[in-house]
Amino acid sequence: MGQVLDIIKERSSTRGYTDEKLTAEELDKIIEAGLSAPTGMNKQEIHFTVLNGDNPVLAEIEAEKNRLRNLDKLEHNFYYEAPTVIILSAEAGFKWSQVDAGIAVQNMALAATELGLGNVILGCIYDALHGEKKAYFSEKLALPENYEFEIALAVGHKAVTKEPHTFERDKQVTVL
């Protein structure tokens, strides 16, 4: 099996990180993987906002997510205390933005895995970033005009490990 297929099988969602920051080179490689993703009509509309895990806006997003879900403070925040969170946003109303962002975030997750970093793809803050505070969070995250949140990636050095998920090929695949 080729190296890409090995990385795909190796990747799992990391829900615990050390305090060690990413190097500039690690972050650059992850962002480059996202920028290299194909986009519908080659529009290249995905924008990447990189935040340190201690950025105050992340705590505000966490609070809004919890408020909307009627949750008390949880053991972990939505990004599991990762030292880096990357917000992917895209042009509002473009038909393929959600698909394009999904492809980009998967590229980034696989690149992070290849670098030996843990990561978790995050959609749980979608309602918080599309709700009544949408304009506020868009400004705080410096999203380009007419752009909106699509998906995010938390990334850092693993403090915990998790086996990749299993699947049942016979139940999940139909060949006609």
pLDDT of residue 1: 47
- Looking at domain 3-172, its CATH superfamily turns out to be NADH Oxidase (3.40.109.10)
Exposure of 5 by Cβ count < 10 A (0-12 exposed, 13-18 middle, 19+ buried)? exposed
pLDDT at position 75, please? 87
**Helix (H/G/I), strand (E/B), else coil: 136:** helix
Within 10-55, strands assigned E span 47-52
pLDDT tens, N- to C-terminus, the chain (176 residues):
469 999 999 999 999 999 999 999 999 999 999 999 999 999 999 999 999 999 999 999 999 999 999 998 788 999 999 999 999 999 999 999 999 999 999 999 999 999 999 999 999 999 999 999 999 999 999 999 999 999 999 999 999 998 998 999 999 999 99
Whether this prediction's pTM lies above 0.75 is answered by: yes
Looking at residue 2, what is its pLDDT?
A: 64
In angstroms, the Cα distances linking 92 to 42, 51, 84, 103, 117 are: 16, 22, 25, 17, 31
